[in-house]
Amino acid sequence: VFLAAVLTLGAGAGYLVAWRLTSGIERVSDAARRIADGDLSQRVGAKHESDEIDRLVDAFNAMSENNEALVTELRTVTDDIAHDLRTPLTRIRGMAEVTAAGETSPDGFREMCGAVAEECDSMMQLINEMLEITRTESAIDRLERSEFSLSGLVRQAGALFCEIAEDRNVALAVSVPEQEIAIRADKLKIQRMTANLLDNALKFTPPGGRVELTLALRNGAPVLEVRDTGCGISPAEKEKIFKRFYRCDASRTLPGNGLGLAMVQAIAHAHRARIEVESEPGKGSCFSVIFPQNT
């Protein structure tokens, strides 16, 4: 009798354990089938069946979130590219129609071909920038991390943009602490981020203005700061400036495609850095990139 009772209890306990495991697996399988049918918002709720099932659920939900973010991002990229390519394609078609309709000389055809080639170059640059932003945000491309001197990078950036600033009659000041600051990051992307911030500041600073590129340590964390005396950003626009193709009212007459700050944000987030923006219309702006400690 005792043995029968033990066997019964053991069978019952085994059944309960097996039921809890299969129940969790079935919930994951059901969510996977719904995702396969196109519902990317599906997630599996945690019911704490067991540590193994909980880890499976957490991993599945993390994978689902990444997949949904990637697909959403790709849809956004497709829509943005399609929207922004209409203008150059319309210009190309117009030039081709005008050239074909008139009595154009060989020189006229060559001029039209040259203009079409320039428009194609602009479109290729736009597409490449969009793809780079997407690949950076979605972590499709792994960061090529290496340890390098952020102090040296800032000095080099200041030297490279010095001539541009002089041509625009804008004073460019570079401030780097005596203590060398080194980080482990993707050097090419940090260079790109710094260049975009400087280019943005110089673009919106009128002749006679000033741009400051500063590197410092704040509570042990490296902080890269670009301050200008340009037109500034209104509070309503501050929340939108990192969106792709968004251009403030003050920038609509200036060259650019509205992707510079979107690239800055993508690179900063890929390095787990934080961006702070301080701005006052008519007085200028300050963009700060705060790197995590021990980067």
Furthest C-alpha separation in the chain: 109
Question: Which whole-number Å values give the CA distances from 260 to 29, 33, 129, 229, 247, in the listed order?
Answer: 42, 40, 9, 19, 10
Instruction: Report residue 247's pLDDT band, with 50, 70 and 90 as the boundaries.
Output: low
DSSP 256: -
Q: Do domains 77-137 and 145-290 have the same CATH topology?
A: no
Task: Please choose, from the candidates 43, 47, 21, 25, the residue with its C-alpha nearest in 3D space to the C-alpha of residue 34.
Answer: 43
Structural domain boundaries in the chain: 2-69, 77-137, 145-290
Which amino acid type is present at position 221? A
- The total of other beta-carbon atoms located within 10 Å of residue 57's CB is 22
User: The CATH number of 145-290 is which of 3.30.565.10, 2.40.50.140, 3.40.50.2000, 3.40.50.300?
Assistant: 3.30.565.10
Whether this model's pTM surpasses 0.85: no
Residue 276 identity: E
Q: Name the average pLDDT for the chain.
A: 81
What value, to the nearest 5°, has the Cα angle with vertex 191 and ends 188 and 192? 90
Instruction: Identify whether the C-beta of residue 284 lies closer than 8 Å to the C-beta of residue 227.
Output: yes
Where does 77-137 sit in CATH, by number? 1.10.287.130
> What is the distance between the alpha carbons of residues 3 and 10, in angstroms, rounded to a whole number?
10
Mean pLDDT (whole number) for 232-250: 76
The contacts of residue 169 (CB under 8 Å, 6+ apart) are 207, 208
Res 15: pLDDT: 47
Predicted confidence at residue 277, as pLDDT, reads: 92
- pLDDT above 60 for 13: no
What element of type H or E holds 286? strand 284-290
Residues 6+ apart with CB under 8 A from 279: 232, 233, 238, 285, 286
pLDDT above 90: residue 67: no
pLDDT digits (tens, 9 = 90+) for 26-47: 777 877 777 777 777 777 777 6
pLDDT, tens only, 205-229:
999 999 999 999 988 899 999 999 9
Q: What is the pLDDT of residues 161-189, one digit of tens each?
A: 999 999 999 999 999 998 899 999 999 99
